[in-house]
């Protein structure tokens, strides 16, 4: 795969483990959207990165874009409901998130979408996860990040439901590092958009694991 990570040597010998979710910090974005952030939720992230990079059956996809078919600028693998995730620590993460958000979300996190950003040229364009419940009611998408830090950018959805467009410059940026967790909640998927912008310079690989409730994509 040629996707070596310049991880810390100490971390390389550490078994993966999840910390407490008590340290989550919530930021209200407006229009009923919020994000919870917890840097360093996962320790031993080097091992997680290494095994996912090596063992996941990554797929390169192509998509129709107007009159052209283009490469999707990242590798993908989707784990639906009731399938084993590629590492037990990811099942633990999903279950811990389900327990933490049980009352607020009202249903479990059930699927895991994995993205592999090979370098700074890989990215995700602006979008909301609006297939399923995310299009009409509040939901949550939780993202665990391993590998090179990349920015998750969020901006009010232009002309979206839930209010007028946000003011120019209202984009917020969260650098997601090795082992960090971010949860997008409330109306975030229908009133805001998110993206992983391309990054310039020498940017190493990153893998994101997105946990979602049933039907949300
Ligand atoms: O990689 C990430 O953190 C975000 C991925 C994402 O937004 C998506 O795949 O829909």
Domains annotated for the chain, with CATH where assigned, are: 19-212 (2.60.120.590)
From residue 202, how far is each of 7, 121, 142 by CA, in Å? 15, 10, 27
Q: What is the pLDDT of residue 162?
A: 46
Average pLDDT, integer, range 63-67: 88
Q: Determine the distance separating the centroid of ligand 1 and the alpha carbon of 107, expressed in angstroms.
A: 21
pLDDT band of 14, cuts 50, 70, 90: confident
Measured from the CB, is residue 143 less than 6 Å from ligand 1?
A: yes
Closest atom, ligand 1, to C-alpha of 129: 10
pLDDT reported for residue 1: 44
What's the CA gap between 215 and 80, in Å, rounded?
A: 10
**Is the entire prediction scored with pTM above 0.95?**
no
Is a pLDDT exceeding 50 seen at residue 37? yes
Q: How far away, in angstroms, is 208 Cα from ligand 1 center?
A: 7
124 ligand 1 Cβ < 6 A: yes
Does 97 sit in the ligand 1 pocket, CB within 6 Å?
no
Q: Quick one: pLDDT at residue 12?
A: 64
Q: Distance from the CA of 187 to the center of ligand 1, in angstroms?
A: 17
pLDDT one-digit tens code per residue, 173-203 = 999 999 999 999 999 999 999 999 999 999 9
Of 126-130, 149-153, 163-167, 213-217, least confident by mean pLDDT is 163-167
Residue 113 CB less than 6 A away from ligand 1? yes
Q: Tens digits of per-residue pLDDT, 114-162?
A: 999 999 999 999 999 999 877 889 999 999 999 999 999 999 998 754 4
Q: Whole-angstrom Cα distance, residue 149 to residue 153?
A: 13
CA of 146 to the centre of ligand 1 (A): 13
**Ligand 1 atom with least separation from CA of 195:** 7
Mean residue pLDDT of the chain comes to 91
CB 180 within 8 A of CB 142: no
């Amino acid at each position: 795969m040629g996707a070596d990570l310049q991880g810390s040597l100490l971390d390389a010998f550490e078994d993966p483990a999840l910390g407490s979710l008590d340290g989550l910090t919530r930021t209200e974005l407006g229009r009923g959207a919020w994000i919870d952030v917890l840097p360093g939720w996962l320790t031993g992230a080097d091992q997680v990165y290494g095994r996912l990079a090596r063992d996941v059956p990554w797929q390169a996809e192509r998509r129709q874009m107007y009159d052209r078919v283009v490469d999707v600028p990242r590798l993908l693998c989707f784990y639906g409901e009731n399938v084993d995730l590629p590492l037990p620590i990811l099942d633990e993460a999903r279950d811990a998130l389900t327990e933490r958000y049980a009352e607020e979300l009202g249903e479990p996190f059930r699927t895991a979408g994995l993205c592999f950003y090979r370098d700074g040229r890989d990215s995700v364009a602006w979008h909301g996860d609006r297939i399923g419940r995310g299009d009409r009611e509040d939901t949550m998408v939780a993202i665990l990040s391993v590998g090179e830090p990349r920015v998750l950018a969020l901006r009010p959805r232009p002309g979206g439901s839930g209010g007028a467009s946000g003011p120019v410059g209202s984009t917020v940026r969260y650098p997601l590092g090795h082992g960090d967790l971010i949860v997008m909640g409330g109306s975030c998927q229908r009133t805001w958009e998110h993206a992983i912008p391309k990054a310039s310079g020498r940017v190493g690989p990153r893998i994101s694991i997105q946990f979602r409730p049933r039907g949300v994509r």
